[in-house]
Amino acid sequence: MLTTPSKWTRLRSAVLAAVAGAALLGAGTQAARAEFINVLTGGTSGVYYPLGVALTKIYAEAIPDARPTAQATKASVENLNLLDAGKGEIAFTLGDSLAFAWAGDADAGFKKKLEGLRTVAAIYPNFIQVVASQESGIKTLADLKGKRVSVGAPKSGTEINARAILGAAGLKYEDLGKVEYLPFAESVELMKNRQLDATLQSAGLGVASIRDLASSVPITIVEVPAADIEKIGLPYMPVTIPAGTYTGQDAAVSTAGVQNFLVTRADLSDDLVYAMTKSMFDHLDQMTAAHAAAKGIKLDAAAKDSPVPLHPGAERFYKEKGAM
């Protein structure tokens, strides 16, 4: 026999439903307040990744309701395309890749002009590090002719750098014995196994992959002459890899440098980008603890020389600090 629910049972059920609904609404409101910040980095054996992880820790502590993550990627070109697709909030990139993205250079990996990009900060310079095994006999860029060389992942920032450096030295990929398009760690493993003669890696000084290589086999760091850098022009500039940066490197080596940038999307709120910019500069010690390359991040240079406009949130921070 079916019984009709009592008035008390119906009332109790209604109250429980209302409480559950309020809880769900509260959870939804909390989720809406959360600031999802995906930091687009690079390969795990490079410099972008540890610095990106450091940024996520800074954001988690300094920005209320922040929910940051660090994503390993193929670095500059992929990062900029992911940003444009709304799949990240802040990204590391090389300056020449950023200029190509702003111009919509198809050969560099950009199908259109990425006009929604905005600069957060100029950070540290990348050093173009051409590293050969001593066994290969490579001592100059010209010696790369006929050799097995890794130039970085296809259409990555490193590979764009490789094309520029080799071109200035009068070399094309066709002049090399074999071209491998590999990330840093994989290039190093092939060199350890004598399946590769040299690798070009565009990264901060002391990058883990080259430290690993230098501790395993004798290496030669190949000079990029100032005359070649002048042929390419800005944003390339002469820099020096100090003696002792890597095991067995007894002398300083001249090479080319390219400025790195942190970039974001124009549609992010001014308050969020202000908070991301401020928190990084307030905690630069955590960045340098993650990787020594971050010692090159300077407040007085952060708002300068980007091929892409500053985000208004970052601009507000620099104006407050008198750093514009």
The pLDDT profile of the chain, 324 residues, written as one tens digit per residue, is 444 455 444 544 544 444 444 343 443 333 345 789 999 999 898 899 999 999 999 999 999 999 999 999 999 999 999 999 999 999 999 999 999 999 999 999 999 999 999 999 999 999 999 999 999 999 999 999 999 999 998 888 899 999 999 999 999 999 999 999 999 999 999 999 999 999 999 998 999 999 999 999 999 999 999 999 999 988 899 999 999 999 999 999 999 999 999 999 999 999 999 999 999 999 999 999 999 999 999 999 999 989 999 999 999 999 999 998
Could you tell me which residues are beta bridge partners of residue 219? Answer: 133
- Checking 103-112 for CB contacts under 8 A at 24+ apart, the result is 108/77, 108/155, 108/160, 109/77, 109/81, 109/155, 110/77, 110/80, 110/81
Q: Of 243, 258, 273, which one is at a domain's C-terminal end? A: 258
Q: Are residue 220 and residue 253 in the same domain, yes or no? A: yes
- Under a CB-based contact definition with an 8 Å cutoff, are residues 224 and 61 in contact? no
Residue 47 lies in a domain: yes
Chosen domain end from 239, 258, 277:
258
Distance between CA atoms of residues 121 and 296, nearest Å = 12
CATH number at residue 225: 3.40.190.10
Domain that holds residue 50: 32-124+261-320
Q: Is residue 73 part of a domain?
A: yes
- Residues 141 and 222 placed together within one structural domain of the fold: yes
Choosing from 258, 286, 304, the residue where a domain stops is 258
**282 and 200, same structural domain?**
no
What stretches of the chain adopt beta strand conformation (E)? 35-40, 66-71, 90-94, 117-133, 148-150, 178-180, 198-203, 219-222, 236-241, 253-265
Distance separating alpha carbons of residues 187 and 156, to the nearest angstrom: 14
